[in-house]
Amino acid sequence: FGLKTYIAYYHTLQQVYWYASSWNVSLYGWLLRLCGSTEHNASLLALPWLSKKLFYLLAVLLVGFLSRFLLAKNSPDHKTKLDLDFSLTLIAMLLLSPLTWLYYFPLLLIPVVTLLQLAKQYKLTWLYLLTCLSIVLSSISHLSIASTKITSANMLSVFALSSCNVAALVLLFCSIGAARSTLANPSFTEGSFSLSHLEWIAFYVIILLPSLLSILNVVNVTTIFGVSHIPDFSFDHFGT
């Protein structure tokens, strides 16, 4: 590690030509599919010069909000502050990274569980519903389509499906900020929302099942992609 490592990483990123791929659900990838890029992918707006400018602007705003969030001291307790700080940093990392693939989404289990626990502890119905919605959005799976394969024929469907995954990250980010603000309010009072233990178990099964199926689908597609690019691949490699 060190400065040379980061410089080498930066130069490597300049040689990447698949930022606009459908599985890249970072802010940068989303903007390339929205405004266009030099990767020759079809986009909703023919404004490739705007992509990086918007990304830098959003990145500055996001880092500014994250810094203010982490430095704030108005939190209900130390443990809650640590949980929310870590969760928000994790989501910010996924949004700001130039490449954030769908198979990174199991990391969202940390902020999701954190928010659900807060929703249960403080009986916040709105937080419960927003977290459920983010889980559903993150569970929407779709085919991996390379930048050059995004044409005018499939552009709209690719953009819509990948936008659902990006929306899941943005929604979780905003939910954490709203939860922190709500709990830090001196006049905050607990709501009336509550679920029994059996209802919570049913909820986890129903909501998390699509996520598990989505992960399995991603693993399956990734495996098929890998096998198709290894001419001498054989299941004999695994033994009997």
- 122-161, pLDDT tens digit by residue? 888 899 889 989 988 988 888 888 888 898 899 999 999 9
Question: Average pLDDT in the 41-58 region?
Answer: 89
- pLDDT band per the 50, 70, 90 thresholds, residue 6: confident
Q: What is the per-residue pLDDT for 89? A: 96
One-letter amino acid for residue 137 of the chain:
L
Spatial separation of the C-alpha atoms in residues 147 and 42, rounded to whole Å: 8
Q: Are 45 and 36 in contact (CB under 8 A)?
A: yes
pTM: 0.80
Backbone phi, then psi, for 16, in 5-degree steps? Answer: -80, 135
Displacement of CA 60 from its chain's centroid (Å): 18
Displacement of CA 159 from its chain's centroid (Å): 15
Whether residue 234 is predicted with pLDDT greater than 60 in this model: the reply is no
Distances (CA, A) of 161 to 19, 23, 79, 139, 193: 16, 10, 36, 11, 32
Spatial separation of the C-alpha atoms in residues 97 and 89, rounded to whole Å: 12
Enter the tokens of residue 152. 């005018």
Enter the tokens of residue 6. 């980061």
Mean pLDDT for all residues in the chain: 83
What burial class does residue 195 get, using C-beta atoms within 10 Å of its C-beta: 0-12 exposed, 13-18 middle, 19+ buried? middle
